[in-house]
Amino acid sequence: MGKVTIDPVTRVEGHLRVSTETKGGTIHQARVAGEMYRGFEQILAGRDPLDAPVITQRICGVCPVSHAIASSRCVENALELPPPLSGKLLRNLILGANFLQSHILHFYQLSALDFLNIEGILSLKTRDPQLQELKGWVVQELDSNRILPAAPFLPRLKGDYPADLSWTQNLLSHYLQALDMRRKAHSMIALLGWKVPHVASIVPGGVTCTPTYGELEAFRGHLYILRRFIESVYLPDVMATAKQFPDYTRLGTGLRRFLAFGAFPEAEGDWLPSGTVDSRSFSSLREGEIREETAYSWYVDAPEQETSLPDPEKEGAYSWIKAPRYGGKACEVGPLARLIVAYHAGQPSVKEMVDDCMNRLRLNHSALKSVFGRHLARALEAQLLARRMEVWLDQIDPETSHVAEYVPRSQGSGSGLIEAPRGALGHWITIAEGRIATYQCMVPSTWNFSPMGGRKDPGPVESALLGTPVARDSQGLEAARVVRSFDPCIACAVH
């Protein structure tokens, strides 16, 4: 029996520790732990309800937009302040642009180095000036007497990196291109009138910006370039990488239980549906089934609805992340969950796209529930979303107001359930005497990276790691690939 601990897991947001035990060459036990806590829920108590979107989006610098919207929606529900349709559509565009930047960043900057042989660049014969420059830099670095040559790209973990030079060259060159693409997606957010990270104009009631036709068309121009990148580079890269790693279209399956809160409201309701899929059967979402457990988390066990107090000395606990459960069960959330829920809810564009992709890869649909299933789901969602954003863009009328008039109320309670790039996100608020009485966030990575719950049932990532074969001299690369396929965001998971 061997033990491998990966601490810190890098190329993820935040502080994550993963420990595994192997028996007979495969992982038979895994524990994931969030290693950072700030206490946002306590900090919010007693503040003005309109502070909530400003404060909560600072839970996470990668997905602030999702928190701003979930937070605004819970305040809107508590104060009965429905935003106008154009406010919702503008939020969709901002959230959509952040999905695109997040998914692109995840595949290239955060995950690709798990698969890519970066030293392969030394054998490249290329005319791409950017790659030539990168190659020159690596050569110079390796020849230098620096203590960490070619950091942050080296050192890396030992493992089975493919020798295919043309695939290596593509992925390397696209790693560089993706940096510009994700920045462009952020510029789109700013174009509509923001700065990002931490947007300024999403408020309870809508959005405060008033984009002109010129700004909307500039947004469309950027969107077109991103769409082309997703269709001709990002999705093909994920598919080509999946072909290099057939094992990882089977590994990292996990719970096979999926949950989605629904997202991107349109006039007729959410574009991506809410619901759960458990062993292929779809059910609609019941908010009352959501609970959070703290048996193995560093919090004082408290009754529902009360803000949890930290207890870093708690006996038996091993993570700052709590354990959300739906109907008492752990669930996977995220792009794959959204895709599977939409597929089983019968969303035609999702069905068609998924069937086509799996056919082209000559893979059975069960291969979706894997490491590469998650990467594919992200890329497919990005493609679908980039196309849908053009529809929303056409529906914005710059002449109308995008925000409802604020009417103060001194009490109320409400929830804001949406989808963040990494999955189902919920904010809950109660307001008393005009101030926040209690505030709760359950964030996608809280679901996916949850520790064991009250019945010692493992969280989704802990389950997905089980059965992963590892090399005898493994430094943890196999486990890291499974873990990163969930796109960890630990500042979100704990907050």
Catalytic residues: 13, 60, 63, 67, 422, 445, 489, 492
Instruction: Verify binding: residue 220, other proteins, rule CB under 8 A.
Output: no
Binding-site member from 122, 142, 151, 391 for other proteins (CB under 8 A): 151
Q: How far is the CB of 25 from other proteins (least distance, A)?
A: 19
Q: Name the one range near other proteins by CB under 8 A: 140-148, 230-238, 352-360, 437-445.
A: 140-148
Binding-site member from 129, 143, 147, 281 for other proteins (CB under 8 A): 147
Crossing angle of helices 85-105 and 64-79, in 10° steps, is 150
Q: How far is the CB of 284 from other proteins (least distance, A)?
A: 31
- According to CB under 8 A, which residues from 454 to 483 bind other proteins? 475-476, 480
Taking the CB of residue 348, how many other CB atoms lie within 10 A of it? 8
Structure token pair of residue 300: 């004082």
The contacts of residue 282 (CB under 8 Å, 6+ apart) are 275, 276, 341, 344, 345
Q: Report yes or no: 227 and 246 within 8 Å, Cβ to Cβ.
A: no
Phi, psi dihedral angles at 152 (to 5 degrees): -90, 10
Whether residue 211 has a cis bond before it, omega within 30° of 0:
no
Instruction: Verify binding: residue 144, other proteins, rule CB under 8 A.
Output: yes
Rounded Cα–Cα distance for residues 241 and 375 (Å): 10
- According to CB under 8 A, which residues from 96 to 135 bind other proteins? 109-110, 113, 118, 130, 133-134
C-alpha distances in angstroms, 343 versus 276, 354, 377, 391? 11, 8, 12, 21
Q: How far is the CB of 387 from other proteins (least distance, A)?
A: 24
Binding-site member from 170, 208, 413, 438 for other proteins (CB under 8 A): 208
The contacts of residue 398 (CB under 8 Å, 6+ apart) are 210, 211, 212, 213, 216
Q: How far is the CB of 192 from other proteins (least distance, A)?
A: 8
What x/- string results for residues 16 through 35 when contact with other proteins is judged by CB under 8 A?
Answer: -x-----------------x
- According to CB under 8 A, which residues from 343 to 362 bind other proteins? none
**DSSP secondary structure of 202-218:** EETTEE-----HHHHHH
Site size toward other proteins (CB under 8 A) is 104
Nearest partner of 469 among 458, 460, 481, 461, judged by Cα:
481
Instruction: Verify binding: residue 328, other proteins, rule CB under 8 A.
Output: no
CB closer to other proteins out of 434 and 469: 434
Instruction: Verify binding: residue 324, other proteins, rule CB under 8 A.
Output: no
Q: Name the one range near other proteins by CB under 8 A: 180-188, 264-272, 281-289, 328-336.
A: 180-188
Residue 487 identity = D
Instruction: Verify binding: residue 48, other proteins, rule CB under 8 A.
Output: yes
Phi, psi dihedral angles at 339 (to 5 degrees): -65, -45
Instruction: Verify binding: residue 224, other proteins, rule CB under 8 A.
Output: no
Binding-site member from 99, 108, 115, 153 for other proteins (CB under 8 A): 153
Which segments of 202-341 are extended strands (E)? Answer: 202-203, 206-207, 257-266, 269-278, 281-283, 290-293, 323-326
Binding-site member from 91, 103, 106, 182 for other proteins (CB under 8 A): 182
- According to CB under 8 A, which residues from 284 to 313 bind other proteins? 298, 309-310, 312
- According to CB under 8 A, which residues from 376 to 435 bind other proteins? 401-403, 405-412, 434
Q: Name the one range near other proteins by CB under 8 A: 47-55, 262-270, 286-294, 452-460.
A: 47-55
Place of tokens 């929830």: 415
Nearest partner of 479 among 48, 22, 14, judged by Cα:
22
Q: How far is the CB of 434 from other proteins (least distance, A)?
A: 6
Q: Residue 109 class from Cβ within 10 Å (0-12 exposed, 13-18 middle, 19+ buried)? A: middle
CB closer to other proteins out of 2 and 152: 152
3 state DSSP class of 289: helix
Binding-site member from 10, 305, 349, 395 for other proteins (CB under 8 A): 10
Binding-site member from 85, 165, 190, 361 for other proteins (CB under 8 A): 190
Q: How far is the CB of 14 from other proteins (least distance, A)?
A: 7
Q: How far is the CB of 41 from other proteins (least distance, A)?
A: 10
Q: How far is the CB of 116 from other proteins (least distance, A)?
A: 9
Structure token pair of residue 474: 């493994």
Binding-site member from 89, 121, 191, 272 for other proteins (CB under 8 A): 191
**DSSP secondary structure of 232-250:** IIIHHHHHHHHHH-GGGGT
Torsion of CA 342, 344, 350, 356, to 10 degrees: 150
